[in-house]
């Protein structure tokens, strides 16, 4: 009986060693292809671009959305994005603006939207991590507003 138990134990150890050896030498290969989808929508005088790029390290798509600020305000004024999206505020106007969350002047609704001043011709980015509907505005001209819906 002891002999049979020893033989079974040795077989189990051999099988475990073979399994571990296989697992160590046959790692899954990372994805080698990258797909980029780009769609542009032009709204005079501003442009909105959304790009989706899957990455090898993350099965979920990384998305970037652009909100353009011109002398006429924000475009698009309302966007819907997924949690984790990178949002770029691009200032194409001829003056500095200050992108902040509502309410004015406290900016307390969603601190991740408070990117502060963006000089003429400049841009700032942030990543949305809180889900919900959030208003934003140009602190230097609070009548210029918009909404970000994060799903």
The pLDDT tens digits of the residues spanning 28-79 come to 544 444 434 334 433 334 333 333 333 333 434 558 899 999 998 999 999 9
Does residue 23 lie in a domain region?
A: no
Instruction: Enter the DSSP assignment of 112.
Output: G
Average pLDDT over residues 70-94: 95
Does residue 57 lie in a domain region?
A: yes
Domain membership of residue 59 as a residue range: 37-150
Average pLDDT over residues 102-113: 87
Does residue 1 lie in a domain region?
A: no
Do residues 146 and 77 touch, judged by C-beta distance below 8 A? yes
Does residue 127 lie in a domain region?
A: yes
User: Is it the case that residue 24 has pLDDT exceeding 80?
Assistant: no
* pLDDT on residue 88: 96
Cis, peptide link before residue 145, omega less than 30° from 0: no
Query: What is the CA 97 to chain-centroid distance, rounded?
Result: 23
Instruction: Enter the DSSP assignment of 23.
Output: H
Query: In CATH, what number is assigned to the domain containing residue 98?
Result: 2.60.40.420
Query: How many separate domains does the chain show?
Result: 1
User: Is it the case that residue 17 has pLDDT exceeding 60?
Assistant: yes
* pLDDT on residue 22: 60
Do residues 89 and 60 touch, judged by C-beta distance below 8 A? no
Does residue 29 lie in a domain region?
A: no
Do residues 107 and 100 touch, judged by C-beta distance below 8 A? yes
Does residue 20 lie in a domain region?
A: no
Q: Backbone phi, then psi, for 27, in 5-degree steps? A: -75, 145
Selected residue with higher pLDDT from 23 and 36: 23
d(CA 93, CA 112): 23
Does residue 146 lie in a domain region?
A: yes
Selected residue with higher pLDDT from 87 and 49: 87
**pTM, to two decimals:** 0.58
Angle at 45 between CA 41 and CA 46, to 5 degrees: 45
């Amino acid at each position: 009986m002891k002999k049979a138990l020893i033989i079974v134990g040795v077989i189990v150890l051999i099988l475990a060693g073979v399994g571990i050896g296989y697992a160590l030498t046959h790692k899954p290969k990372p994805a080698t292809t990258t797909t980029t989808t780009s769609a542009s929508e032009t709204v005079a005088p501003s442009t909105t671009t959304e790009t989706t790029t899957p990455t090898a390290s993350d099965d979920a798509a990384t998305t970037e959305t652009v909100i353009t600020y011109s002398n006429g305000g924000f475009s698009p004024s309302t966007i819907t994005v997924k949690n984790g999206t990178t949002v770029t505020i691009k200032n194409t106007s001829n003056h500095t603006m200050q992108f902040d969350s509502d309410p004015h002047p406290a900016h307390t609704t969603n601190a991740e939207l408070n990117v502060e001043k963006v000089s003429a011709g400049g841009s700032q980015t942030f990543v949305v991590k809180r889900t919900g509907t959030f208003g934003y505005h140009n602190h230097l001209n609070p009548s210029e507003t918009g909404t970000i819906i994060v799903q």
